[in-house]
Amino acid sequence: MSKIGFIGLGIMGKPMVKNLLKAGIETTVYDINTIAVTELVKQGAKKADSPKEAAVNKDAVITMVPNAAIVKNILEGENGILAGASEGTVIVDMSSVSPVASQEFARLAAEKSCPFLDSPVSGGEPGAVDGTLAFMIGGEEKNVEKIKDVFEAMGKSITIVGPNGSGSVAKLANQIMVNLNIAAVSEALVLAQKAGADPKKVFEAVRGGLAGSTVLDAKAPMMYSRNFKPGGTLAINLKDITNVMDTAKSLDVPLILTSALQQIMLSLKADGHIMDDHSGIVQFYEKISGVTVKTEE
């Protein structure tokens, strides 16, 4: 059984650690949020006072933090992960960052003879809680196999996409598809509402056909129930879409729809909705259409 250090105990990280503990995997946790640390220690986790301490004598160290700057900060320095990790400790970044950042982290890890996996996830908070996350991994298969029990404790899909950076590319592609799907659902339900149809009934009518999707099932009910409590905030998704656009620019790839989506998200940020769930994209369309998507039931 693997011994794990886990850094980052937010909306995603905390339930992921709970599933590691349920699987009997020894897990040492670190976060600046001491309340989250205390809660997990009560459930059997061990406490570390620094990223360095979280990495000592571990088979792997997982990072699940908001952005690349934080990942780099907790990797480097006298109290960083790489200062505590032994040769061969697998560093697994499950944060959503750019492929360029992932490749940089892989180089930093290699300098300490530590394998690196970029392994962003899909499934949001529900997937983290249920242990049904999908892992998109960039790195070598042998390093995934070393800690396969860890992945299996937290998710149901483990896909090695290619070399370092490939996992992050897959995540960017995922975020394009998810968020544009949410925008499409938003447009459709705003149209339905404006035309006098109950959006819940429209959802029920179309979900069994070709328009049906995991995104539709998860997000349409949140829209017509006016529940924008975040499983994945607009802030996090705007960060991801910004990474998408930066990566696309570096590759000279025009992304017409995603570019418009970024502007929609920036508008929602300006209107104070940035900490809403990304189903809150519907609020942009509601504002410009003068209608509120809401079921009569």
Work out the average pLDDT over 91-118.
96
Tell me the H-state helices in 43-98.
Answer: 51-55, 68-75, 81-84
List, by residue range, all CATH 1.10.1040.10 domains of the chain. 170-289
Q: What is the pLDDT of residue 297?
A: 81
Is the dihedral angle over the CA atoms 281, 284, 289, 292 positive or is it negative?
positive
CATH no., domain 3-162: 3.40.50.720
Tell me if residue 171 is catalytic. yes
Alpha carbon 159 to its chain centroid, in Å, reads 16
Q: What is the pLDDT of residues 142-195, one digit of tens each?
A: 999 999 999 999 999 999 999 999 999 999 999 999 999 999 999 999 999 999
Instruction: Please name the residues in contact with 272: beta carbons below 8 A apart, sequence gap of 6 or more.
Output: none
**pLDDT score recorded for residue 15:** 97
pLDDT, tens digit, 9 for 90 and up, residues 222-247 = 999 999 998 889 999 999 999 999 99
Can you tell me the distance from the alpha carbon of 80 to that of 87, in angstroms, rounded to the nearest whole number?
A: 15
Give the type of residue at 18: K
**Sequence-separated (6 or more) residues with CB below 8 Å from residue 79:** 50, 51, 52
- pLDDT at residue 232, as a whole number: 84
Locate CATH 3.40.50.720 in the chain. 3-162
Q: Name 260's Cβ contacts closer than 8 Å, sequence gap at least 6.
A: none
What's the pLDDT tens digit per position in 63-97? 999 999 999 999 998 999 999 999 999 999 999 99
Confidence of residue 59 (pLDDT cuts 50, 70, 90): very high
Which of the following is catalytic: 18, 171, 200, 219?
Answer: 171
Q: Report phi then psi at 206, rounded to 5.
A: -100, -15
pLDDT tens profile 189-213: 999 999 999 999 999 999 999 999 9
| Phi, psi of 117, deg, nearest 5 | -125, 125
| 110-116 mean pLDDT | 97
Domain 170-289 matching CATH 1.10.1040.10: the answer reads: yes
